Structure 1
Amino acid sequence: MSDEGGVAVKRAHDAAARGAWQEAFEFLVQADADGLLGPPDLALLGQVAYAAGDLDTTIEAWERAHAACAQAGERLAAAGAAVRVAMHLLFDTALLAPVRGWLARAEQLLDGEGETPVHAWFAVVRNYERMLSGDVNSAREWARRAIAIGSKCEPAACAIGRVAEARSLILEGDVQRGLALLDEAAVAVVSGDLDPMSTGVVYCELVCALQGLAQYDLAEEWTDAMERWSRTNAIGSLHGRCRVHRAEILRLRGSCTEAEIEALEACEELRPYLRRELGWPLSELGRIRLHKGDIDGAEQALLAAHHAGWDPQPGLALVRLAQGDIAVASASIRDALEHPLQVPSKERPPNTDLRRAPLLDAQVEIEIAAGDLDQARAAAAELESIAVRFESKALVASATVANGRLRLAEGDAAGAQQLLADAVQLWSEIGAPYEAALARRALAEALHARGHDDRAALELEAAQSALERIETAPP
């Protein structure tokens, strides 16, 4: 290595040590152009390229590190590099075929080796590969293996394994055990003992689990903590993912203008990293715009999500309903439930009842509009059973609104009034002004059907006032 090349590599290591990722990246690219990087330096290039926002270079660097180590007969290092390739492909592209290929290569290299940190990380990545494939039982087994091995030699893999097992438990309906394990996983985050990427992954997984369960108070607490951490510590796609979670909470709280800004910035920050999963922030943007009454903007965002390869439902069906195209709305929501798109996503694992819940919620409203009360009744019943199983106040509120709307459509205005009044209270307690306003609007219809026009007017006025505040609120 030339003196100049050695200086560049040393400067890169120094810059990386103080978190100057772009500076480190530029020094390593300079040294690499002169052919001066060995396997350890290629591994560092993979790390700093990710932090600097260059996913392609990240993956290429780890691939080259793998090849160099394999050629040198360093099986364990080659396996570790293969696991890193698989991890970045999985977390940021969700392209499972190459993920499985790299994991198979790592598994061959690990055969006959004793338990090492590489084995712990292999178990972490295999867990997510199984989860994103919809195989929750197998995912949980691999998460437990990550915990068992990681607890001996790799705390970061152990922490991610804990939160991964918690997610599997929750997805299987074992909510209390899952929440307890999330608490255990959170200890590793607040201790400050993990590296920035592992810390960010645990934070993100905590919030994903709680958002998916509609445990919004806890999700908000951890989103706030993740946001504070991300201001100075987040690397790679983690800052953008934090923005999406923040946008979700802001939307729930009725701060939709601020939420839209966060979602737009998240899309830009995540664009260099995500492929199909870019549809996640785009779908959230569409949902925010629906809440703001911007139907055209919502349609634009949801179609962009679809073009990215993401499932835009139930948002797009609700857009069609708002546009008055009830037949298309009904057909699309039925298709989404009967033939769900199996889009691999760490944020939204497939094949789960928690994925079906928002689709069923939308279907009740759409099928009532279409006049198909049998379909609406079946959707409401399934939604109610999911709410009970997952012990979620927000899901219970959704099911209560659905049943209230159904009772009203069936002509039972008195039963509808009671259910919808309960729903208004539930959504108000949760702190979701948009959902509470929609429940109030339905309650006004029930009151009007019973001849209580004065009370109906009061509820309708309160609902319209809340919706107007959401639509016109400044950032």
Structure 2
Amino acid sequence: MSTLADGREAYAERRWPDAVGQYTAAEQDAELPAGDLERLSTSVILTGRGSEGVDILARAHLKYLADGDYAAAVRCAVWTGINLILLGEPARSAGWLARAHRIVEDLSEPCRFEGMLFLPAGLGALYQGEGAAAAEAFTRAADLGRERGDADTAALGMLGLGQAKIMLGQLDDGRALLDEAMVAVTVGEVSPVPAGIIYCAVVETCHLAFDLHRAHEWTRALDRWCDAQQNLVAFSGQCQKHRAELYRLHGAWTEAIDAAKMAQDLAFRGDRMATYGGFYEQGEIHRLRGDFDAAEAAYLHAQETGFPPQPGLALLRLAQGRPDQAQSMVRLTMDGAAPDYRRRMLAARVEIELAAGDAPAARAAMEELASLCASFDMPMLHALAEQSEAAVLFHEGDPKAALVPLRRAWSRWLGLDAPFEAACCRALLASLCAALGDEESARLEREAARAVFSELGAVPALSELERSALESSAVESSAPEQLAPAAPDARTALLPTSENDVGHAAGTGSLTARETEVVRLVSAGLSNRDIATELFISEKTVARHVSNIFTKLGLTSRAAATAYAYRHGLV
């Protein structure tokens, strides 16, 4: 009996391997009660042994039936079905879900867990891109969960409804529902498996909605949640995938590769939902660094999960000098994509269509991207839309008009601490300045972009920059009389025009939004390594931010920075 008690204690303390060991030992002496079988199955699933956990969950279901606890039997049947979906066994899943429906129909009283029956239908509609149908199913699940005191179903229903609303473009309503679902998780109302599902789904949805701030906040929360549980495998791989995505955006490409490889390792150990993201993110870094063979291999591994590795694979074809193939790939993928995934491919579509020579298609994609900004008021989305607009205008022969949206895009990328994207803006600005006859500004912008690309190891971007420079030189030497006069504002085209552009304008003695975050963390006593982990940036980037802070504020130590933070109400 003490072994059984030890198993229950380990489960309560989220020591999953200990719980598995103690419950397994207890089962050698006597048959486990249904509730303990269910807890054992959860512990086994969370340590990465999904198939074994499902078999134990099926035993718990039968034990509940024998005990006459039909509501709990329904719960086990539905979770068995959901886990089988995740394991890629739809036929067995359908059988278990049908069994759950039949039990509920045969009951003479309302079933506490009836709301769970609507979750699989909502998931199916969501995966098919049918937002309205998904919203209907998840609303029913959430309502029944609340009415009958089933916190897990209520929270999962809110999560799904939030995802559906964001898919339908109702961003504010969707985000509010995601936040409400996360409240249920953070106050401990939700059991471990639904909590992990909600964490990972919220982060993924934030990325799809271009909500970088929330994606960062919830990824860090998921990171802490995973770290707090002994040898947790389930959901840990997905956490690493999300970390890789943030590291990539912030220019910490080595850290991004490490996180992507860890996601793959955890996927092989049981977190199968991390497989696609782990390989896709690895492919992205290899592509950006110019290691095309490794990128191809990673993208193809991602594709084996059944999801197209786009737009990364299409952009790889473009980098390989095959724009027609890239165009065909991205068009085919977008034609069948759900609205939220289609949105994520629009900026790449603009780039690819321009390279393939279809200016009208590029403009159509750019205008679709720009139209989203009214519903999704997110800095990252605005940056993508403005950068795409500048590229289209330049391609159409209006470099002067392209300066304004490009300056805004550059400013937003700086505010998001996205060095590669910001450098791409400066590379394009160099071409604009050259087209306007301002070769000195073009040279300065080219040098600034080259410095960032070199530090990141972005070999293809460097090669493209040099090619553009040679083309500009050739045009200047062959037909100087045709050049337009230098634009009066070309030399200062990318300087911030207000403090809102990058948090605060650089060079004024004030801090940018990112530098303010760093000061807060320094004042909390965090080391550069800890700050890098907290913000998903590299230690080198943290050191550069700290140096800039000291220079701007005239400080010489972290203690002085801490004093400044307290004095100015930053803490």
TM-score (norm 1): 0.88
Q: Which secondary structure state, in structure 2, belongs to the residue aligned with residue 233 of structure 1? A: coil
Larger radius of gyration: 2
- Cα 1:114–1:251 change in 2 (3 A) is farther
Question: Which consecutive unaligned segments of at least 5 residues does structure 2 have?
Answer: 459-537, 541-571
Superimposed CA distance per residue, residues 345-369 of structure 1 (whole angstroms, 9 cap, x where no aligned partner): xxxxxx22x2112322112111211
* 1:106 aligned to which of 100, 110, 115: 100
For 1:233 and 1:417, locate their aligned partners in 2 and report how far apart those are by CA, in whole Å.
Answer: 51
Q: Deviations over 1:278-302 (max 9, x none)?
A: 2122112212333344333222211
Q: 1:186 to 1:51 in 2, by over 3 A?
A: closer
Return the alpha-carbon distance in structure 2 between the equivalents of residues 292 and 474 of structure 1: 20
Q: Look up the match of 2:440.
A: 454
Aligned residue pairs, count: 458
User: Which amino acid in 2 is paired with 1:227?
Assistant: D
After superposition, residues 9-28 of structure 1 pair within 5 angstroms as 9=4, 11-28=6-23
Trace 1:272-351 onto structure 2 (pairs within 5 A).
Answer: 272-275=269-272, 278-340=275-337, 351=338
Higher helix share: 1
Q: How far apart in 2 are the matches of 1:465 and 1:425?
A: 18
CA shift for structure 1 position 10: 5.0
State the Cα distance separating 1:430 from its structure 2 match: 2.4
CA-to-aligned-CA distance 1:362-406 (integer Å, 9 cap, x gap) = 121112112222222222222222333333321222122222111
Which residue is 2:42 aligned to?
A: 47
Q: Which residue in 1 is equivalent to 2:415?
A: 429
Are the equivalent residues in 1 in contact too, given 2:3–2:25 (CA < 8 A)? yes
Match status 1:168 vs 2:164: yes
How far apart, CA to CA, are the structure 1 residues paired with 2:126 and 2:110?
Answer: 23
**Residue in structure 1 matched with residue 187 of structure 2 by the alignment:** 191
In the TM superposition, what is the alpha-carbon distance from 1:137 to its structure 2 partner?
Answer: 1.7
Larger RCO (alpha carbons 8 Å, 6+ apart): 1
For residues 435 and 183 of structure 2, the distance between their equivalents in structure 1, rounded to whole angstroms, comes to 53
325-334 or 189-198, larger mean C-alpha shift: 189-198
Distance 1:134 1:97 in 2: 22
* Structure 1 residue 265 displacement after superposition: 0.5
Instruction: Summarize the Cα distance change of 1:14–1:192 in structure 2 as closer, same or farther, 3 Å threshold.
Output: closer
- Deviation, 1:132, is 2.2
Shift of 1:35: 8.5
| CA deviation string 1:94-137 (max 9, x = no partner) | 65554343222211111145444422333344432332233322
Contact kept? 1:256, 1:470, Cα under 8 Å: yes
1:88-237 matched pairs, under 5 angstroms = 88-90=83-85, 92-93=86-87, 96-111=90-105, 112=107, 114-152=109-147, 153-233=149-229, 235-237=232-234
Q: CA–CA distance in 2 between the matches of 1:426 and 1:14?
A: 50
Tell me how far 1:275 sits from its aligned partner. 4.6
Q: 1:271 aligns with which of 256, 268, 271?
A: 268
Change in CA separation of 1:167 and 1:114 when aligned onto 2, cut-off 3 Å:
farther
Q: Deviation at 1:231?
A: 1.1
**Is the 8 Å Cα contact of residues 291 and 470 (structure 1) preserved in structure 2?**
no
Distance in structure 1 (CA, Å) of the matches to 2:369 and 2:76: 44
**Distance 1:69-1:224 versus aligned 2 partners, 3 A rule:** closer
Does the residue aligned with 1:388 lie in a helix, a strand or coil?
Answer: coil
- Residues 320-469 of structure 1: pairs in structure 2 closer than 5 A: 320-340=317-337, 351-352=338-339, 354-469=340-455
Larger mean Cα displacement after TM superposition, 112-121 or 443-452: 112-121
Distance 1:202 1:464, change over 3 A: same
**Alignment of 1:259 onto 2:253:** no
TM-superposed CA distance for 1:277, in Å, is: 5.9
Instruction: Specify the alignment match of 1:243 in structure 2.
Output: 240
Structure 1 gap ranges (5+): 1-5, 341-350
Instruction: Give runs of ≥4 in structure 1 deviating > 6 Å.
Output: 472-475
Q: CA deviation at 1:8?
A: 5.5
**Alignment partner of 1:87 is 2:82:** yes
- Report the alpha carbon displacement of residue 74 of structure 1 after superposing the two structures with TM: 4.9
Distance in 1 separating the partners of 2:347 and 2:108? 50
User: Deviation at 1:160?
Assistant: 2.6
User: Letter of the aligned partner of 2:209 in structure 1?
Assistant: L
Contact 2:267 2:274 in 1 (8 A): no
Q: Displacement of 1:20 after TM fit?
A: 2.9
Range with greater deviation from structure 2 (175-184 or 305-314): 175-184
Per the TM alignment, residue 220 of structure 1 is displaced from its structure 2 partner at its CA by 0.8
What CA RMSD, in Å, does the superposition of the two structures yield over aligned residues?
2.7
Query: Is the CA contact (8 Å cut-off) linking 1:404 and 1:417 kept in structure 2?
Result: yes
TM-score by length of 2: 0.74
Amino acid at match of 1:123: F
Q: Deviations for 1:238-276, whole angstroms, at most 9, x for unmatched residues? A: 222111112211111111111111111011112233557
For the residues of structure 2 that align with 1:113 and 1:462, how far apart are their CA atoms? 73
For the residues of structure 1 that align with 2:273 and 2:321, how far apart are their CA atoms? 29
